[in-house]
Amino acid sequence: MSATLRVHSPANGSFVGEVPLDTPETVRAAVERARDAQVEWGLRPVAERAEVILRVRRKMLDATDTIVENAARESGKPRHEGLLHEVMPQLELLSYFGLEAERILAPSPIPMRLLKHRASYLHYRPRGVVGIIAPWNFPNHLGFGGVAMALVAGNAVVLKPSEFTPLSAQILRKVYLDAGVPEGCLQVVNGYGDIGAALVTAGVDMVEFTGSVATGRKVAAACGERLIPCVLELGGKAPALVMEDADTRRTLEAVLWGGFANAGQVCASIERLVVHQAVYDTFVPKLVARVKSLRVGDASQPGEIDVGPLVNQRQLEIVTALVDDAVARGAKVACGGKRIEGPGFFYAPTVLTDVTADMDIVNKETFGPVVPVMKVGSEAEAILEANRSHLGLLAYVFTRSGSRGRRLAEQIRCGTVMVNDVLATAAAPETPWAGLKASGIGVAHSDDGLRHMCEARHVNYDALPWLDKELWWFPYDNGRLPLLKKALRVLYDSPLGNLL
């Protein structure tokens, strides 16, 4: 009997399902099957592949209830989050790339400045087989966003879902196959970290990884050794700057959702709340009152909930240790601050005050329902705090002034800064999703992200084909050197040269 990976609900411990466990040998076999299938798929016109992606959209709509119910059982997600975090962003991504791929991947001409008698263009060809290692916090959206983009670009995909959420991948794979994606072009392998490592070294042509900084460094090293490209999204420690002129009502609701959606298990979660001293004493109590109103519970049971469980015991221990350490070093618990007793990995939505910049809760990624609050006295201090982290994925600025918001946003070193909103660009596939500093390398989503799924090949050809030879070819003639020097003077030190 083959070994299986058993999945249990993080909310109540019940058995949810199981999948077969792969081995390094079956991973290599999956990559080879994908490589064989990719040849025909990659030769199809972009428009034909895009039609299949749009059929996936329809099939996903039909499977909405299945996806949402599985997310409630497998991940503990409230049904609103299963629908609006896992289904809706995927539908939008499938729409954007299904409708725009032909434009994005069209040959791109390159204007020639000097060599006017020649012409250049870039054309885009599939890389081959893309290995995707998906996270547990958004198994549909983060895992299959890359799947859709890789497929429409003409690649085959071997996906390794998290060992905590493998059932989502089985559902979505069936959706893709039912829509007409050739079976060999979408392989799923299951297992633990060793299977992810095996996928990176199994002969794939590109890797997309979402996960921890520590594992991301290993993936980058393995890809570097093989000289294959990788896209790494390695988490964040997003600051939210609440300036003295912020719209209190909107900012409160944004911070509440940005800090506690998906139980704070979002790489773009608000993990540092930076509040101007002029509004600190009024804003923070209002936030605490709203946090206390959040309903925590098991999404698979009847009733309305806002916040589900953490994914596993280890994540619960990480959150607990970070909060306990902060309290031991002087932070105050405004609400929450403890595990909720009973079945499941629940932690009470927490707000910490009196935190300082040297605390781990401010410097290490929490990935839980905890918002530490810091007080600042000026814009400069707020920007300094925002930029102090070694991570740089997302940041947020709240102010009534649009020009001020943009000015502050441009001073924050993050891949994306949102003004008066949180998280939402994750569902805007036309925008880039990229981290700076230790938050990753490469870009997901966006036109550039789709093109990066391809080899960009440059073609240079003769626009004036009747020339017998170029001026700089053999034989060299020293008698022409004075004339060539004069030509250089005209080209690079005269108004005429600037007009080229």
- Among 74, 86, 233, 271, which one carries the catalytic annotation? 233
**Residue 169 contacts residue 143 (beta carbons within 8 Å):** yes
Strands 350-353 vs 394-398: parallel, antiparallel or unpaired? unpaired
**Residue 236 contacts residue 268 (beta carbons within 8 Å):** yes
List of residues 6+ apart from 284 with CB closer than 8 A: 275, 334, 351, 353, 373
Look up 271 and say whether it is catalytic: no
Q: How far apart are CA 72 and CA 13, in angstroms?
A: 13
Q: How far apart are CA 81 and CA 152, in angstroms?
A: 27
Beta bridge partners of 460: 120
Tell me the longest C-alpha to C-alpha distance in the chain. Answer: 92
Show the DSSP H helices in 140-276 as ranges: 141-152, 166-178, 193-200, 213-226, 248-260
Which DSSP symbol is given to 341? P
Q: How far apart are CA 206 and CA 125, in angstroms?
A: 13
Q: Which two tokens stand for residue 408?
A: 């502050």
Residue 225, CA distances (Å) to 200, 201, 219 in order: 11, 10, 10
- φ/ψ of 260, rounded to 5, equals -125, -5
Look up 233 and say whether it is catalytic: yes
Q: Which two tokens stand for residue 381?
A: 């201090």
Count the neighbouring beta carbons within 10 Å of the beta carbon of residue 18.
15
Beta bridge partners of 206: 130
Amino acid at 422: V
- Among 223, 230, 267, 414, which one carries the catalytic annotation? 267
Which DSSP symbol is given to 369? S
Q: How far apart are CA 197 and CA 177, in angstroms?
A: 26
**Residue 51 contacts residue 41 (beta carbons within 8 Å):** no
Q: Which two tokens stand for residue 57?
A: 């959209």
Catalytic residue numbers read: 233, 267
